Amino acid sequence: MNSLNLQTDWQYDPAPQSTDHINLKESYDLFINGAFVPAKNNNHRNTINPSNEKIIAKVADAGPDDVNLAVSAARKAYETSWSKISHSERGKYLFRIARIIQERSRELAVIESMDGGKPIRESRDIDVPLAAAHFFYYAGWADKLKYAFPGRETQPLGVAGQIIPWNFPLLMAAWKIAPALATGNTIVLKPAETTPLTAMLLAEIIREADLPDGVVNIITGDGSTGSSLVEHPDVDKIAFTGSTAVGKEIMKKLAGKNKPYTLELGGKAANIIFADAAIDQAIEGIVNSIFFNQGHVCCAGSRLFVEESISDEIIFKLRERMETLIVGDPLDKNTDIGAINSKEQLKRIQEYVKIGQDEGGELYQSKCKLPNTGYWHAPTLFCNVSQSHRIVQEEIFGPVLAIQTFRTVDEVIEKANNTPYGLSGGVWTDKGAKIFKVTQNIRAGVIWANTFNKFDPSAPFGGYKESGMGREGGIQGLLPYLKLNPC
Ligand code: NAD
């Protein structure tokens, strides 16, 4: 009997998402004090669609003078309006932002996929609804802070400087802005240089929601803009999400400065499959853990640990499943894996794949056909690797999985913890006792059991070790933006 060739025999017709409702500008200014203003130095950079390398728009590049202006606007707004209005009034603004995000969800989803390369299915069903959910969730807390921290009086910190990465641009902005506003702080937010567009749409939404001028300021630019924000003497708190290397730099800069900071950094999560797991479900879980958002996920399950007795079966089934993953146009509703976010990131992933091969790893890549223009990487896995391999220890931030085996629960716990990171993890088994043992002994901020990459605004998220400090989400996500005083 001839076997089915999934690349040629079973094709879906294209199902492109319409872009008719998208109204992109040629050029975007900075959002300071409730208005869109050009950068003082008039510098711009292009933002590119990574799936076709076409320029989407020009975006202003904020220099130190613009950072100054944004911080002064945030300070003035804090003193004259935002710290003065009632907590329930603050909540109403957050509800309004959440509802407008829902109303403009299609537009946000399409622009997120164009600017960042992620499949429309993910931006439409995950990024945008979760961003709205975050605003709804923290809107609810705005007038209930005294119940969140009974017996304490809560006091905002003042002006929060917030810096976010490119992998979940709108969602990371929501994770930062919603709790800061709910607790009474004003904001200067800096999006990542390769994905500024949904943040600029969020600026429009904030205007539409009629927030007092200067409560939220959004300034685009690269690391030097972020650095000016970190060093600004009138910023009361820094919230950073990004790489561990930059997180360490920020720690050094803020040492001894009495400026609180939270750091959400990189990860190298262990995803552990026991022999008694529901195997087909686990295969889907592995795919979701490493190929979701092209593997550009801080909590991606990039290290797979499989109990030795089922490793052949898992690797066989995983390779078959990888062949069915559709890699291509992010705006096609059938696409599973979109474009790599930037040329630099693609180069970094390719370098790691070469390192993996040079160190003796056994490479397998799906045979999918990659488009000719744009930045693409096939779903990839490595077998025959050990704890000392660089692709097992270092964050790749791409669709590359390193597979190892284990025989006992204690062995896999030790291997899982043998990394500088501690952000997330996963465990797949039929036995509750094993779930408890593994989750209690792995040092990571979140560990999923028989699932992976599930997020909810009410659940705290954050890291141990070099994955960072502080929590975002849940009641814990309020704390980094508050001083708690005795009543
Ligand atoms: P990055 O550290 O290069 O950049 C992150 C942000 O910091 C960008 O806005 C960038 O412009 C800015 N920046 C760069 N240098 C700076 C400096 N010296 N001072 C201040 N700001 C500076 O990271 P990235 O490549 O954009 O994002 C990928 C990283 O983010 C990965 O390591 C990933 O694991 C991590 N991440 C972590 C979480 C989490 O919640 N823990 C979530 C998403 C991404």
Ligand 1 mean position, distance from CA 146 (Å)? 33
- The residues near 226 (Cβ < 8 Å, ≥ 6 apart) are 163, 190, 240, 246
Active-site position among 264, 307, 395, 472: 264
- Find the helix or strand (DSSP H, E) in which 112 lies: helix 105-116
DSSP 39-87: -TT--EEEEEETTTTEEEEEEE---HHHHHHHHHHHHHHIIIIITTS-H
Mean pLDDT calculated for residue range 126-141: 98
Q: Which atom in ligand 1 lies closest to the alpha carbon of residue 230?
A: 20
pLDDT in tens, 412-431: 999 999 999 999 999 999 99
Mean pLDDT calculated for residue range 120-125: 98
Dihedral sign from CA coordinates of 272, 277, 279, 280: negative
CATH placement of domain 27-265+467-486: 3.40.605.10
Residue 156 pLDDT exceeds 60: yes
- Residue 130 three-state SS: helix
159-179 burial by CB neighbour count: b if 16+ within 10 A, else e? Answer: bbbbbbbbbbbbbbbbbbbbb
Q: Which atom in ligand 1 lies closest to the alpha carbon of residue 461?
A: 40
- Residue 273 three-state SS: strand
Asked if 318 and 324 touch (Cβ cutoff 8 Å), the reply is: no
pLDDT in tens, 343-366: 999 999 999 999 999 999 999 999
- Band the pLDDT of 12: cuts 50, 70, 90: confident
Distance CA 332, CA 249 (A): 39
Ligand 1 mean position, distance from CA 264 (Å)? 9
Prediction pTM value: 0.97
Residue 1 pLDDT exceeds 60: no
Mean pLDDT calculated for residue range 377-388: 97
Active-site position among 298, 299, 466, 472: 298
Residue 439 is predicted with a pLDDT of 97
The type of residue at 269 is A
> Hey, whose CA ends up nearest to atom 13 of ligand 1?
223
Beta bridge partners of 304: 271, 403
> Hey, whose CA ends up nearest to atom 3 of ligand 1?
243
Mean pLDDT calculated for residue range 215-232: 98
Residue 2 is predicted with a pLDDT of 64
Distance CA 463, CA 47 (A): 30
pLDDT in tens, 293-336: 999 999 999 999 999 999 999 999 999 999 999 999 999 999 99
Q: Is the CB of 156 under 6 A from ligand 1?
A: no
Average pLDDT over the chain, rounded to an integer: 97
Residue 204 is predicted with a pLDDT of 98
Structure tokens at 392: 């097992």
Strand ranges in 130-269 using DSSP code E only, listed in sequence order: 152-156, 159-163, 186-190, 216-218, 237-241, 261-264
* In 239-342, alpha helices (H): 244-254, 279-291, 311-323
Q: Is the CB of 242 under 6 A from ligand 1?
A: yes
Q: Which CATH class is domain 270-457?
A: alpha beta
Residue 11 is predicted with a pLDDT of 80
- What whole-number percentage of the chain has pLDDT above 90? 97
Ligand 1 mean position, distance from CA 109 (Å)? 22
Strand ranges in 124-223 using DSSP code E only, listed in sequence order: 152-156, 159-163, 186-190, 216-218
Phi/psi at 248 (5° precision): -65, -40
pLDDT in tens, 233-245: 999 999 999 999 9
Mean pLDDT calculated for residue range 202-214: 98
> Hey, whose CA ends up nearest to atom 12 of ligand 1?
223
Distance CA 62, CA 53 (A): 24
**Domain coordinates in residue numbering, the chain:** 27-265+467-486, 270-457
Beta bridge partners of 486: 152
Residue 7 pLDDT exceeds 70: no
Residue 236 is predicted with a pLDDT of 98
